[in-house]
Structure 1
Amino acid sequence: MFRLRRYRYYVFFAAIVVFLLYRVAQNSEQWETVSASFPHRAPPSSSKSPSTSKSGTNGANSQAQTRFTGFSSEEDDLPQRILDHASKDNAPVKVPDLKNIQQANDDDFDPPPKSNTAVKEAGVLAYDHDEAAKATTAPVINVPDKNVGQGAKDSDDQPVKPGAHWEKTPEHFPVPESEIIPLPAGKPKKIPTIQYAFEKETPEAREKREARQQQVKAEMERGWAGYWQYARGHDELTPVSKKFRDPFCGWAATLVDSLDTLWIMGMEDEFKAALVEVEKIDFSVGKRAEIPVFETTIRYLGGLIAAYDVSGGKSGGYGILLEKAIELAEILMGVFDTPNRMPVLYYNWKPQYASKPKRAASNAGVAELGSLAMEFTRLAQITKENKYYDAVARITDAFYEWQERGTSLSGIFPEHVDATGCNRTAQNELEAAQNAAEIEAYGETDIVKRSGKSTPNIKKQKNPKTGEVELVVGESSLPECVSQGLTSGGWGAEQYSMGGSQDSTYEYFPKQWLLLGGLEPKYKELHLKVSEAVKKWLLFRPMVPDDRDILFSAKVTTHGEPEIDAKTQYEVTHLTCFVGGMFGMGGKIFEVPADVEIGEKLTEGCVWAYESTATGIMPEGAHVLPCPDAKDCHWNQTLYEQALDPSWEHRDEQIQKYYDQKAKAKAAKEREREMEREREEEESAQDPAWATSRTGQPKKPTLGERPSRGSQVDDDGARVQKRAAVPGIGDLEDDLIERDPITGIKKAKFSTAGAEDAEDSDPAPGFKKSTISQVPLHEDEDTEKDPLRPLSHEEYVANRIANEKLPAGFVDVNSKAYILRPEAIESVWYMYRITGDKKWQDKGWKMFESIVQHTATEIGSSAIDNVLTTKTTQLNEMESFWTAETLKYFYLLYSEPNLISLDSWVLNTEAHPFKRPKAPFGV
C-alpha cells in the first residue's frame, strides 16, 4: 500500500514536468516567431546605455527578456509578472529597419535663439544616460488603475500577449518612386513679420512679468512631480486619487507631450530624466486594440519632433528624440496604405489586421483627416525623406480639389467626410442598370440557368470571327469602385463649424504655409477661402450686458441649400477659441488687417466667457443670443428674457385660462353649497327627526325610525357622502387635471402642482354650520403658494436663471465642465505677441488665477464638472495638454518675446513648436 502511494506521487510529479516542458516548448516557438518577425536594433553608439543593476547579464539573455517584458496573460502567476516587470529596464530600444534614412544636416535652419532667462535653447551638452539616470527617483510600482475615466473608455484593458507586436509588412497600394510628391524646394519666400516690435520694458514691468512667469512654472513643477511619482510611464495622472490611466496606447502621453515644455521652462534636469523613459517606449505594442492616429500624431510625433527642435536639433545631442520619432512614423505610415492613400484614422496595429488591405472611413472627422500635415512635413524636412511629405500632401490635394469643386458652404468642409474614394451611389446605379440589362437580354429564368446565380455579370463583347457584338454572361463588367474625391460623409444634414471635429484642419492651412516657407501656394488659397466663408456664414456678435464688441463662431446645419434651409446654432465652445489666434496670425502673414481685428474680437469673446462665470472659467459649451444688427448692438433685457423662455408668448394665455377655470370651479362649488342648504332646509321641514334640539345639535333617529324619502341617510343609519357631484364638475376636473397615459395617475396639466379650495367640514359639537361660504384667506393674493398655477413669463425666467445659475447673456450652458483646455489662452498669447498690448497679459492672469484656484490638487490639476458654481467637483483627470499646451501658453505669455518667437517658430495644434526654415531646403 505504501509503495502504491509513493508511485502515485511519482506519476503526479512526472505529469507536471511533462506539462511544463510542453509549455516551455510552446513559448519558445512564440518568442522565435516574434524575434524573426520584428527587427530589434540597439541604440546608436553615440549614446551610452542606461546603467542597470544587472550589468552582468549577457546580450542574448537581455534580448530574450525584452521579447516578453511587459506582457502578461490571465494564466500567468503573480511572481512571474513581477519578474517580467523588473526586467523591463534592461530592454533595448526597438527601431524598425528603415530604408534610406539618414540624419539630416540642420544647417539650413537657424539655431535656437538664446534668451536672458533660465531657459537655454542652444549649446547643450550631449545627452548622457548615466547623468540623466541619477536624476530619476526610485522606481514606482505601477498598479493598474481600476478607476478608468471617460477618456480611457476605448482603451483595450486586456493584457497584451507575447507575439502581439506590430510588424512592417509589404504595402498593398504602394506609391511608385517616380510618383512620390517631393517637398517644395528652394529659398523660403519673404514672409511679413508676425510679432510686434516690443520695446525695452521697465524694471517694474519686468519684475511683475517674471513673478507671474515663476508662478506658472511652479504649477508645472507640481504637476510634473505628481506625474513622475504616480504615473511615470503611463499616459495621464489621475490627480485626486494619485493613480494613473492610459486612454491612448500607454506610451507615456504626458511625458512625451511635455518634453518641449520642460525645455522651454528651463527644467533641464527633468528633461534629461524624461529621455531615459522615452527610450523605453515600445511603439510596436500598445494597450489599445487600435492606434488613434490623429491624437498620436499631434501628441507623440509632434512632441518628439518639437523636443528635438527646441533642444538644438542635430547639434543639441539628443538624437534619441529623432530616433523615436522615426520609429513611430514608420508605424503610422501603414495608415496611408489604402487605394486612394487617404489614411485609416483608427489603426489596428496587430499583425493579423495590419497586414490586410484597408480603406479609409466613410464617416471620418475633418480635423482627424486634415491635421497630420505639420508633423509629417517637419519630419520630412529633418530626415530628407520625401515619403513623409507625400503621405500628407495627398490629403491636402484632396481638400484643395474638394474646395475647388465646392461644398454646401463654399470654402469650408462639413464635419464628416467620406474618404473611401468610392462613390457608392454611382456604384449602385451601375449595378441596377446592369441587372436590368441582363433581365431584358436573357430573362431572369434563363440567366439563372446559364450562370447558376440570380444576378450574373453581363457585358458586351465583339466576336472576333463574326464581328458581331454579343452579350457575355459571367464576366465582371463593373469596376470594383467608382472613383471619387472627398465628399460629405454620412446621411442627412451637414454641419459646419470651427469647433470640435473640424478645428485643427483649418488651423493647419496657414501654419503649413509658414512651415514650407511660402513655397506651396495651395495652403494660402485654402486659408483665404476658409476665412471668407467663416466671415460670411459663421461669425456673429452676441448681445451682452455691457455691450462689448466681441465675436463668436456659430454652427450651421444645412441639407445642401444653405440660402434656404440653413439653421444656425449660436454656440460658445471652448474648442472654438483657437480661431482668434488663427485669424490674427493669418491676417499678419497674408496682409489682411481686417482679419487681425476679427481675431482680437474673437479672443475678447472667449475672455468675456471666462469673466462671466462664478469660477471665472469658461464652460465647455453654451449658447448666447445674437445681435439683430452686429454694427449697432445694445443690450435688450426683454429680448434676452424672451430667448430664455421659448413659450413666453403663451404664458399670459395659460395663466388667464387657469384663472378662468378656477373661477368656474369656484362658482360651481357655490352653486353646490346653495343647493345643499336648500335640501337641508327642506328635509328639516318635512322630517322632525332632523329638527334641532335645545342644545343646537341635530336629533338622531331612533333604531325604529326609518329615514324619510329624500334624506341622505342609508339603510344602515350611516351618512353617505355629503356632497355629491353636480353636473359640470367632472368636466371642470378634466380641464385642470389629466391622467398619465402610461401610469394612469392623475396630475396637473400645468407645470406646477397644487390644491383647489378645501371643502367645508361638519361643524364641531356645540357650533352651528355656517351658512356663509368659507374661502381661505388671501386665496387669490397668495398665488406663489398655489402650485397648480402656471408660472408667469417673469417667474419662469427668474427660475431658469436661479436654478441653472446662468451667467448674464447666456441662453443656456449645455456643457458646464472645464477639462484644463488651452484654446482660450492660446489666442490670448497670439494676440499679445501680435499686438504688443499688455492688456492681454492682465486678462490672461485673471484666467490663470481662476483656473488654479478651482483645479489645483495636492499633486497636479484636475478637470472640474461645473464652472457655474464655486462648489465644483474635481473629476480626477489631468489631460496631457495641461502641461503640453495650457501651462506652456501661460508661461510664454510672460516670457521674453524672443522665446519661441512667432517669426522663427510655428506651433502645431498641441502647442509643439517646429523650426521655420530660413535657408533653401528640399530634397
Structure 2
Amino acid sequence: MFRLRRYRYYVFFAAIVVFLLYRVARNSEQWETVSASFPHTVPPFTPKPPPARDSGGNTQAHAEVKGGTAEDRGLPQQVPDKSDKANSPNKVPDLKGQHRVASDHGRDEFELPPKSDPAVKDPAVKEAGVVAYDHNEATKVTTAPIINVPDKSNGQGAKDADNNPIKIPTNTETHWTKVPEHFPVPASELIPLPTDKPRKIPTIQYAFEKESATTRETREARQQQVKAEMERSWAGYWKYARGHDELSPVTKKFRDPFCGWAATLVDSLDTLWIMGMEDEFEEALLEVEKIDFTVSKRAEIPVFETTIRYLGGLIAAYDVSSGDNGGYDILLEKAVELAEILMGVFDTPNRMPVLYYNWKPKYASKPKRAGTSVSVAELGSLAMEFTRLAQLTKKNKYYDAVARITDAFYEWQEQGTSIPGIFPEHIDASGCNITAQNELEAAKKVPDIDINDNFNRDRAQRTGATVNEHDELDFGPEVDPGAHPGNPSMAKPHIMKRSQKSTAQMMNSGKQRNSETSKAELIAGENTLPECVSQGLTPGRGMQQYSMGGSQDSTYEYFPKQWLLLGGLEPKYKELHLKATEAVKKWLLYRPMVPDERDILFSSKVVTRGEPETDANTQYEVTHLTCFIGGMFGMGGKIFEVPADVEIGAKLTEGCVWAYESTATGIMPEGGHLLPCSDLKNCHWNQTLYEKELDPLFESREEQVQEYYDRKAKAKAAMEKKKKDEEFARHHAQIKSETGQPRKPALDDKLSRGSHSDHENAGIQKRAAIPDMGEREDDLAESSYATGSKSAKFIGTQDLEDSDPAPGFERSTAGQVPLQTNEDEDEDPSRPLTHAEYVAQKIENEKLPKGFVDVTSRNYILRPEAIESVWYMYRITGDKKWQEKGWKMFESIVKYTATDVGNSAIHSVLDTHTTKLNEMESFWTAETLKYFYMLYSEPNLISLDNYVLNTEAHPFKRPKTSFGV
C-alpha cells in the first residue's frame, strides 16, 4: 500500500501521456508534412528552345535559364533531385492554353485564358503543385500539400459545410479585378488596324561601306566598354534591388517610385538581349513571371510611365528575341496581362484615358472622365505600345483605344490651335464644354429628357445655340472655349453630333434629375456622371505654353514613328508630323550666340494667352529633354523626303553636343537659357551684348555706383568735421580746468563748433542713407567765402591741438572730399557692383559656361535624349564624327556618375566636385547605355529600316506583311 501511494503520481502522469499520444495519432495526417517546402504558386516551365538570332549581331540564346538559388530568392531550400536533373532544363513557359479564335476581320486572334493551377495539369501534383528552385537553379516539381494549421478554438481546425478544413488566407492585399465598362465600344464600331500590305517607305539608314580593321578594332573596343558599364549597373541592380523599381547606387539599396513591378528589370530586358547578355536575360525572365500586375504599392498607376517602360519593355523584348519563334512567350503573356488592366483607363464617355488610374476595384468600378489639365505627352504617347500589341495579338480593341486619341489630335489640329500645328502643354481632355455647361447650370429648370430626335433642339432652346439641317447642335464661338476673340481663325463654331458613336457621352442610357443638387445627370447603369456638353480637346485653363520639351515631347516623336509602325497606311500621322514641324520651324527654332560661332540650333518655348501674334513671350531655353528633336527631324526628313529637315536635325543635335562640351564636367545640364541671334545666317559672338544679357540692370548700374561714392564722400567729410569739433571741445575744457576761467571763444572757434546735425551723424551706419548736412553747413561755407580768407575756408580742419594756428595751415587739404576709395571699401557689402564686377561675380558664383545666360537646373539624371539624337544622325548620315562626339559624352558621363555598383544622378554638371544623388533611373540601362552601345555596333543591329523605337528606346518590329506582323 505504501508503494502504491508512492507511485500514484507517476501512474497519473503516465495516463495523461497516453491520452495525448492518442490525440496526436488522431491528427497525424494534418502534421505529417510539416517539414515540406512552403508552396509557391509559380507554374512549371514548358521547355521550348529558342532559335538562333538574326544577322543583327545577335548570337544563339542559351537553352537553359540561369536562375538564382532558393536561398537567394527567399524560397525554402530544396534537396535537389539528382536523378532527373539532366532532364529538367529550366525554360520559360509558352502562353498557356493559347488557342486561336476568329477575329472581327475574319483572321485568327490570340485568346489568353486566365492562369490555372498547375496542379490540375500534372497528376503528380494534383493535390498541390510547388515550383521550387534547387541550388543548381533548375526547376523542380514537388508534392507538398498546403498546410492547414489547426485553430485552437475549434479543436482539429475550422470546417466548412462539407466538413472540409477551411484554408486560412495568407494574402489580404487588394487586387485589381476586371469590372464591367460603363462606356463600352460596340464591336462593330471598333477602329480596325490597317489591313493592306505596308507601303514602300524610303530607307532611313545610310548605306554603310565595309570598315577597315583599325576602325573595327576601335569601334568594338568602345562597344565593350559600354557593355562593361551595363554589366556593372545590372549586377548592382540584381544584387541590391532585384524585384524593385530602381537601384539606389550610393547606399546600395532600392526604391519603388513607380508601381513596384521591377521597372529597371522590365525596362532593360531588350538591352540585355541586344548586348548579348543571354544568361542575365533568361534569369530576368524568372523574375518577370513573378510580377503581379494586379496589385501595387501605389494607389494610382501612372499610365504614361507604365506604358512606355513596362508594356513597351515587354513587347520589345518579345520582338528582339524573335517573337513567336523565340520561345519566350511569357513576355507577350505578361504584356497582355498588363494591357488588360490599362484598358480600364479608356472607359470614359469620350474614350480619352484617365492618366493616373486608381486601379482598386472600389474606385475602378465607378464611371470617370479624363482630366481637365493633362500633359500632351502623357495623352499622346500611348499609341505605339498599344498598336504593336494589337498587331501581335490581332485584337483591334488595343488599336481602337489609341486611334481615338490620334483622331482627337488630328481634328484639333485641323480646327486650329493658337499656334497652328502644335498643341499647348496642358489640355482639357474631359470632353466637357465648360462654357456651355455653365449655361445649362444657370437655367432654373432642367426638364427630364431622353436622348431622342428632340434632344438637340431642346438643348438649343436652353443654351441659345442653333440646330443645322443635319440635326447637329452648333454652339457657335461665343460658347466655344477654343474660340479666341480677335483671332478669326480660332472663332470656329463647335459642332456636336447627336450621335457621337462610341466617343461621346451619348453612350449613357439616359438622363435624370439629381434630387439633391437639382442638376441633370447622365445615367451609367446604377452610377451617374454630371451632365456634359460634348467637345473635343481644348487648351487647359491659364496661359498656353508651346515647346518640344517636357510634358510635350514624345507626342510629336510618335507621329512619324507611328506612321512607320503602321506601314505608312494611316496618312493622319504624316499630316500631324509635317504640320507640327512647320510650326516648330516658324515659332520655336532659334540659333544661339555662342563663343565659337558654331552653326547650331535649339528649340524655344512660347507662352501666350491665345494670341501669339501679339502677346507671345519667347523663352530661349535649352533643355536636355528637348534633345530628342534632332533625331525626330532627321528621321522624319528621310521617310517623308524633306532633305532640309535632315539638315535641321543635324544642327539641333550639334546644339546638344555643344551644350555637353561647354560645361566643366562635359555633361549637359537639365535646363538653362541662351542668347538668340537676330540673324540665323549671320551670328557673331558679341561679348558686350552677352555681358549686358547677364546683367539686367547694366543701364543703371554705373549711376548707382556713382551715387554710392557721393554718399560715401559726404559721410566721411561729416565724420571728420565732427571729430575735430569734439577735439576742440576737449581742448577748451582742459584750458578752463587749468585757469579756472572759461576762455572767451574766438571767431574761428565759433565757426568750427559742431552742430546738432553733426552730433546725429556721429553714429552713421554703412547701410543707412546719409542725411543732408542742412543749412548750418551751407551758412558756414558762405561765411568762409565771404571773408575772402583761405584760413577761414579751411578753419574747420586745422590742427586743433595747437592753441594758435601754425603758419601755413591754409595749405592743408584735410577737409576736401576724397576722390579715391579706402582699401576696405571693396569689402563694404553696401557698395553696389560695377557692371563688369557684377558679370564677373555672376559667372564665378554660378559657374556659368560661356554662352549660357543662366542654368535653371544644373543636375544630370542619366538622361538619354542627347545621345539618342547622336545615334540617329550617325545611322542616317553615316558620318563617323558622331561616333567621336558620342565617345566624349560617354567618357564624361561615366567619369562623374560611376559608383561601385552602378551609376548615379549628380547634383551639378558645372562643378567637377559634384555630389551624387543616389538615384539610377531605369532609363539608364533601358535607353542611355543602349544608345551608346548601338552607336558602336554593326549598323544592322536594330536597323532603323527594320525596327522603330518608342520613346523609351524599346525597338518594335516594323511590319512586313498585312496586319502588321
Matches within 5 A, 1:351-366: 351-366=361-376
Matched, 1:187 2:238: no
Matches within 5 A, 1:408-487: 408-432=418-442, 434-435=443-444, 480-487=531-538
Cα gap change, 1:812 to 1:476, in 2 (>3 Å): closer
TM-superposed CA distance for 1:726, in Å, is 1.9
Alignment-derived partner of residue 895 in structure 1: 937
CA distance in 2, matches of 1:305, 1:862: 27
Cα gap change, 1:352 to 1:261, in 2 (>3 Å): same
Alignment-derived partner of residue 276 in structure 1: 286
CA offsets per residue over residues 596-637 of structure 1, 9 Å max, x none?
000000000000000000000000011111012111000000
Matched residue SS, 2:444? helix
Alignment-derived partner of residue 874 in structure 2: 832
CA contact (8 A) 2:567 2:964 kept: no
Matches within 5 A, 1:628-643: 628-643=678-693
TM-superposed CA distance for 1:826, in Å, is 0.1
Matches within 5 A, 1:809-848: 809-848=851-890
Cα gap change, 1:133 to 1:334, in 2 (>3 Å): farther
Matched residue SS, 2:657? helix
TM-superposed CA distance for 1:669, in Å, is 4.2
Alignment-derived partner of residue 226 in structure 1: 236
Alignment-derived partner of residue 597 in structure 1: 647
CA contact (8 A) 2:719 2:762 kept: no
Q: How many residues align?
A: 738
TM-superposed CA distance for 1:324, in Å, is 0.4
CA distance in 1, matches of 2:350, 2:639: 33
Matches within 5 A, 1:801-880: 801-880=843-922
CA contact (8 A) 2:721 2:754 kept: no
Cα gap change, 1:476 to 1:663, in 2 (>3 Å): closer
Cα gap change, 1:805 to 1:459, in 2 (>3 Å): closer
CA distance in 2, matches of 1:764, 1:132: 104
CA distance in 2, matches of 1:52, 1:636: 62
Residue type at the aligned position of 2:218: K
CA distance in 2, matches of 1:530, 1:727: 72
CA contact (8 A) 1:459 1:473 kept: no
TM-superposed CA distance for 1:737, in Å, is 1.6
Residue type at the aligned position of 1:274: A
CA distance in 1, matches of 2:762, 2:588: 52
Residue type at the aligned position of 2:629: V
Matched residue SS, 1:623? strand
Alignment-derived partner of residue 715 in structure 1: none
CA distance in 2, matches of 1:132, 1:527: 54
CA offsets per residue over residues 879-898 of structure 1, 9 Å max, x none?
00000000000000000000
TM-superposed CA distance for 1:675, in Å, is 5.8
Cα gap change, 1:738 to 1:355, in 2 (>3 Å): farther
Alignment-derived partner of residue 622 in structure 1: 672
Cα gap change, 1:473 to 1:666, in 2 (>3 Å): closer
User: CA RMSD for the aligned pairs?
Assistant: 4.2
CA contact (8 A) 1:308 1:321 kept: yes
Give the counterpart of 1:789 among 831, 835, 838: 831
CA offsets per residue over residues 49-91 of structure 1, 9 Å max, x none?
9999999xxxxxxxxxxxxxx9xxxxxxxxxxx99999xxx9x
CA distance in 1, matches of 2:101, 2:401: 16
Give the counterpart of 2:313 among 303, 317, 320: 303
Matched residue SS, 1:801? helix
CA offsets per residue over residues 277-309 of structure 1, 9 Å max, x none?
000000000111111100000000000000000
Matched residue SS, 1:205? helix
CA distance in 2, matches of 1:396, 1:894: 36
CA distance in 1, matches of 2:45, 2:224: 38
TM-superposed CA distance for 1:666, in Å, is 3.6
Matches within 5 A, 1:10-49: none
Alignment-derived partner of residue 150 in structure 1: none
TM-superposed CA distance for 1:358, in Å, is 1.2
CA distance in 1, matches of 2:462, 2:951: 52
Residue type at the aligned position of 1:857: T
CA offsets per residue over residues 181-238 of structure 1, 9 Å max, x none?
0001101011000000000000000000000000000000000011111111110011
Structure 2: stretches of 5+ with no match in the other structure: 1-40, 49-63, 79-89, 109-130, 140-169, 448-460, 465-512, 523-530, 747-752, 771-795
Cα gap change, 1:102 to 1:328, in 2 (>3 Å): farther
Matched residue SS, 1:537? helix
CA distance in 2, matches of 1:499, 1:328: 28
Alignment-derived partner of residue 21 in structure 1: none
Structure 1: stretches of 5+ with no match in the other structure: 1-39, 56-69, 71-81, 109-128, 138-159, 439-456, 461-471, 692-698, 712-721, 740-758
Residue type at the aligned position of 2:768: I
TM-superposed CA distance for 1:787, in Å, is 3.5
TM-superposed CA distance for 1:764, in Å, is 11
Alignment-derived partner of residue 778 in structure 2: none
Give the counterpart of 2:821 among 780, 788, 791: 780
Alignment-derived partner of residue 583 in structure 1: 633
CA contact (8 A) 2:705 2:831 kept: yes
Alignment-derived partner of residue 572 in structure 2: 522
Alignment-derived partner of residue 217 in structure 2: 207
Alignment-derived partner of residue 157 in structure 1: none
Alignment-derived partner of residue 79 in structure 1: none
CA distance in 2, matches of 1:273, 1:406: 51
CA distance in 2, matches of 1:136, 1:627: 65
Alignment-derived partner of residue 497 in structure 2: none
CA contact (8 A) 2:722 2:762 kept: no
CA contact (8 A) 1:96 1:330 kept: no
CA offsets per residue over residues 793-827 of structure 1, 9 Å max, x none?
00000000011100000011110100000000000
Aligned residues with identical type, % of pairs: 70
Give the counterpart of 1:488 among 539, 548, 553: 539
CA contact (8 A) 1:817 1:864 kept: yes
Q: Bigger shift: 662-671 or 233-242?
A: 662-671
Alignment-derived partner of residue 151 in structure 1: none
Cα gap change, 1:701 to 1:346, in 2 (>3 Å): farther
Residue type at the aligned position of 2:662: S
CA contact (8 A) 1:94 1:282 kept: no
CA contact (8 A) 2:303 2:355 kept: yes
CA distance in 2, matches of 1:763, 1:206: 91
Alignment-derived partner of residue 556 in structure 2: 506
TM-superposed CA distance for 1:104, in Å, is 14
Matches within 5 A, 1:529-540: 529-540=579-590
TM-superposed CA distance for 1:662, in Å, is 2.3
CA distance in 1, matches of 2:369, 2:96: 24
Give the counterpart of 2:384 among 354, 366, 374: 374
Alignment-derived partner of residue 737 in structure 1: 768
CA contact (8 A) 1:661 1:735 kept: no
TM-superposed CA distance for 1:492, in Å, is 2.0
Cα gap change, 1:708 to 1:865, in 2 (>3 Å): same
Matches within 5 A, 1:659-808: 659-669=709-719, 672=722, 680=729, 684=732, 690-691=734-735, 700=737, 725-726=756-757, 737=768, 773=814, 780=821, 782=823, 783-808=825-850
Task: Give TM-score, length-normalised by structure 1.
Answer: 0.73
CA distance in 1, matches of 2:134, 2:608: 56
CA distance in 2, matches of 1:51, 1:612: 45
Task: Give TM-score, length-normalised by structure 2.
Answer: 0.70
CA offsets per residue over residues 823-882 of structure 1, 9 Å max, x none?
000000000000000000000000000000000001100000000010001111000000
Matched residue SS, 1:737? coil
Give the counterpart of 1:561 among 608, 611, 621: 611
CA distance in 2, matches of 1:437, 1:708: 104
CA contact (8 A) 1:459 1:477 kept: no
CA offsets per residue over residues 469-504 of structure 1, 9 Å max, x none?
xxx999977871000001111x22111110000000
Matched residue SS, 1:726? helix
Residue type at the aligned position of 2:649: G
Alignment-derived partner of residue 913 in structure 1: 955
Alignment-derived partner of residue 453 in structure 2: none
Matches within 5 A, 1:386-425: 386-425=396-435
TM-superposed CA distance for 1:429, in Å, is 2.1
